[in-house]
Amino acid sequence: MTERHRETVRMEIARAAVGLFTAHGVSGTTGDDIARVIGISTRTLWRYFPTKESCVRPLLTEGLDLVAGHLRACPADTPLLEYLDREGLFDGDAPLLEDSVMDLIRMTRAEPGLMAVWLEVHHAAESVFADIIAARSASSADDLSVRVQAAMLNAALRLAAEERARRSPDSPEAPPGGVGGLVRTALTTAAHGLPAFGHGPDA
């Protein structure tokens, strides 16, 4: 089985799991149910994922993988926010979050198992961001300053996604720019450090 095929199956499993979780709840969904929807055996399902909650992981990593790709491609002489704006990352919800992902993130607030997967995904992303920042700054990914930058970037992305999921698209408080606008706001705040306590020396 090729890696591309494995990733395709993993995404099919993730979409089936989210659909069932949305319709029946996590407790009302079994591994057998997820496997049945996409026509595989339950035994095969468990070869891909250890738990039913972890089945959603590919959908949660998709947006973070996209951001990581942009971070790697950002030219050394171009500010990150300027580059992401030029690349269209702040334009509405796509391609950062689709409706099923927003449903999933919304469910994490009431489902501890899904929240654990959401936080694990971001913990892994933080290490990826640290490696990218270290490479750009000729530093070590273990340096505290690099880890703090990675954590700020990671937290900004997580909170923007959670805020978008919290606000119903049909409600008056829905952000006009979708998740893209929220990501822009979150990253701008992160870039300014701690504005509530005054800007740092480099601001």
Mean pLDDT of 104-112: 93
Assess whether pLDDT exceeds 60 at residue 201.
no
Assess whether pLDDT exceeds 50 at residue 145.
yes
Q: What is the pLDDT of residues 73-103, one digit of tens each?
A: 999 889 999 999 999 888 876 656 777 888 8
Q: What DSSP line would sit under 120-177, residue for residue?
A: HHHHHHHHHHHHHHHHHHT--TTSHHHHHHHHHHHHHHHHHHHHHHHS-TTSTTS-TT
**Which pLDDT does position 198 carry in this prediction?**
64
- Class level of CATH domain 3-55: mainly alpha
In the chain, which segments carry CATH 1.10.10.60? 3-55
In the chain, which segments carry CATH 1.10.357.10? 56-192
Bin 167: left if φ > 0, else alpha if -120 < ψ < 50, else beta. Answer: beta
Mean pLDDT of 8-17: 96
Write the single-letter amino acid at 117.
V
**Which pLDDT does position 94 carry in this prediction?**
60
* Sequence-ordered strand ranges (E) for 11-103: none
- Separation CA 62–CA 113 (nearest Å): 19
Q: What's the pLDDT band for 176 if we cut at 50, 70, 90?
A: low
Q: What is the pLDDT of residues 13-66, one digit of tens each?
A: 999 999 999 999 999 999 999 999 999 999 999 999 999 999 999 999 998 999
- Class level of CATH domain 56-192: mainly alpha
Is 181:175 a contact under the CB 8 Å cutoff? yes
